[in-house]
Chain A
Amino acid sequence: MKNPIEALNKIFDSRIRLGVMSVLIVNDSISFNELKQLLELTDGNLASHLNTLEQAQYLKVQKSFIGKKTNTTYILTELGRHAFKAHLDALEKMIKGI
């Protein structure tokens, strides 16, 4: 039998990255500041995790301007949505299996 832990996504090992994905799955788009507030993180910490997710192509970054300030928003890609669902399914199977 396949070990269910193998189906868990390594990228989501981090609670913070899991948190970012949870927020994005129920919101069409969300800004950097809103994420920071929700997850109670510092700029640098959040940015590095967002970077990892972006490199995995799980989210897309959109930069725009509000007046003179840059406004960075994030949206989930299809790949990201899929990966998150698969991760949740794996979690569920693991919990039920034990």
Chain B
Amino acid sequence: MNKQEEQLNALNDIKKLMDRSSRFISLSGLSGVFAGFTALVGAYLAHGEIANYLNGTYTYGSSIEDLEFNLLKIGFGVLLVALTGGLLLTLRQSRKKNLPFWDRTTKNLLLNLAIPLVSGGLFIVALLLAHPGTYGLIAPSCLVFYGLALINASKYTYTDIRFLGFCEIILGLIAMFNIGYGLYFWAIGFGVLHIFYGTLMYFKYERGN
């Protein structure tokens, strides 16, 4: 091995170590795809509930609280299924790459994701509890805060996440001007964009290796 080749190898090592010690690179693209499909199913179910409510086919009194409760159930169901699936797929990926699943990069990623996400979650809870009649703002707020969370977390994982974050914010802002179509925007942001980005990342980082 000549001197130049040796130095190039050294540079490669440096780059790899920098990435591996500061970025969480076991994030599986498939978990994005899975979350996307779950979100689409959830949006479809929610759409059905709302249509039922509007048609007056709810049998038990048809109060808005019943609808709210059912939508919340769907929402938490989607969150649970998407998180569990994502976690399992990412665990599988970290095992494949022979990297520890829980280390400083995982902690950094989760913490930085959680800051805007928890703020957004509480913001939405406040909308629901203290500002009746503002349902229209829920979907846009979800998208904007989720986008901010992704941009904040992008320093600690693949940088592609950053652009996904921008897309979510833009979508959320457009939705803000089109109140009443929230569910459609929600389905695009959490469903279609996740599937698109997940597939992209799967082919970029997982198929090649």
Contact = CB atoms under 8 A, between A and B. Distances in A.
Interface of A: 5, 15, 18-19, 22-23, 25-27, 30, 34, 37-39, 88, 91, 94-95, 98
Task: Name the 6 nearest CB pairs between A and B, nearest first.
Answer: A22-B17, A22-B14, A26-B22, A23-B21, A26-B18, A22-B18
B164 to A, nearest CB: 23
B100 interface: yes
Interface in B1-38: 3-4, 7-8, 10-11, 13-15, 17-18, 20-22
A84 to B, nearest CB: 9
Contacts of B15: 22
The secondary-structure label for the interface of chain A is helix
The secondary-structure label for the interface of chain B is helix
A23 B104 contact: no
A91 B4 contact: no
B65 interface: no
B14 A27 contact: no
Contacts of B10: 15, 18, 91
B20 A95 contact: no
Nearest to B108: A27
Nearest to A94: B7
A23 B18 contact: yes
Contacts of B18: 22-23, 25-26
B104 A15 contact: no
Contact of A18 (B8, B13, B21, B22): B13
A40 B193 CA distance: 38
A91 B13 contact: no
Given A34-B104, A37-B100, A95-B7, A26 B21 contact: yes
Contacts of B3: 5
Given A15-B13, A18-B10, A38 B21 contact: yes
B25 to A, nearest CB: 13
A22 B7 contact: no
Contacts of B11: 88, 91, 95
Given A91-B10, A95-B7, 17 more contacts: A5-B3, A15-B10, A15-B13, A18-B10, A19-B14, A22-B18, A23-B21, A26-B18, A26-B21, A26-B22, A27-B104, A38-B21, A88-B14, A91-B7, A91-B11, A95-B8, A98-B4
Nearest to A24: B21
B8 A23 contact: no
Given A18-B10, A37-B100, A91-B11, A23 B17 contact: yes
